[in-house]
Structures are given as C-alpha cells and as structure tokens.
Structure 1
Amino acid sequence: MASDRPVVIYPPDEDGGRRVRIDGVIKGRAFSVRDVAAFMQELQEFDEMDVVRSGLIVWRGGGPDVWTH
C-alpha cells in the first residue's frame, strides 16, 4: 500500500455521495458504509464494522455516520 492510511472518504456532495480514494485513485462514490466496505474489498475482506473501526480510512467532512451535505 502507498501509505499507512491509503483510503480517503471525502465530504458528502449535494446528493449525499462521498468520493472514495484508494491509494491515490478515485474509485467512485459511496452512499453508505456498506458501499465503502465494497470498495475496501480491493484491499482485504471488509464488512461495515471493519469500515467504522479501520485505521486505514481518513474521513473528511465527517465520520462514517455523515451522509448528508
């Protein structure tokens, strides 16, 4: 992995989606913790609780409970 915290979840946009960047590459938009878990499968097996607890993720504009603009 490129860094100790290779996953960045950006603030929610006007539609409630949050861009997901993994190792410097934008992978798409997430609309829930479940969506983030699906993107994280690229790194290792993740479920929703892993996403909430993971030290690999940098949450910008609010944590895993923020999905509105």
Structure 2
Amino acid sequence: MPDRARIVVHPPTSTGGRRVVAHIHAEDSVLGTAYTLADVAEFLRRIGVDDPDAVLAAGDPLMEWRGGGPEVWAASPGEAPGAGP
C-alpha cells in the first residue's frame, strides 16, 4: 500500500451504495460503489491492503467515513438523489 494513502467512503446515495475513493499521493481514484462492508474490504484487497478486515474492524486512520460509519448503507429520508461530495 503506498504511503500516505487514505480511503474515503462517501455518504449513501438515495439509489443505494456508497462511492469509495482512494486518495494516494494527492491523486484520487474511484474504487467503485460499495453496497456492503464486504465490498469495501474487496476494494481494499484490490489496492494491496494486506488485512482489510483488520483495517475495517479497528477504525484505522486509513479510513474516512462520511455520512455515517460502516454500519450505514441507506440514505437518510429526504436526501436528494446522488447527494454527497
């Protein structure tokens, strides 16, 4: 895993899923849309994280959760379609 990497999991959209973006050396790379925590773990595996389950379970500083933590997968009522940064 490259130094200074950060993974941002964006808020859930009204249509479902959370966009997952890797920020590595000041560059952004969209990893995909996660619908479950297992999807996020798979994205982490694909970018070379040795033990993604440990990173997710430990609240690792590598992870930034926006719009709710790893337990939130549905948009809040009244949220606009596609809302989120």
CA contact (8 A) 1:9 1:58 kept: yes
Which TM-score applies when normalising by structure 1? 0.82
Per the alignment, in what secondary structure is the counterpart of residue 55 of structure 2?
helix
For residue 7 of structure 1, what is the aligned residue in structure 2?
7
Structure with max Cα Rg: 2
Query: Which of residues 33, 45, 51 in structure 1 aligns to 2:56?
Result: 51
CA distance in 2, matches of 1:13, 1:20: 12
Q: Which runs of 5+ in 1 are unaligned?
A: none
RMSD over equivalenced CA pairs, Å: 1.8
Deviation at 1:16, TM superposition (A): 2.3
TM-score, normalised on structure 2?
Answer: 0.69
Aligned residues: 68
The alignment partner of 2:57 has SS state of: helix
Secondary structure of 1:67's aligned partner: coil
Q: Distance in 2 between matches of 1:31 and 1:59?
A: 14
Select which of 20, 29, 47 maps to 2:33: 29
Which consecutive unaligned segments of at least 5 residues does structure 2 have?
Answer: 76-85
Moved over 2 A (4+): 45-50
Equivalent residue letter for 2:62: L
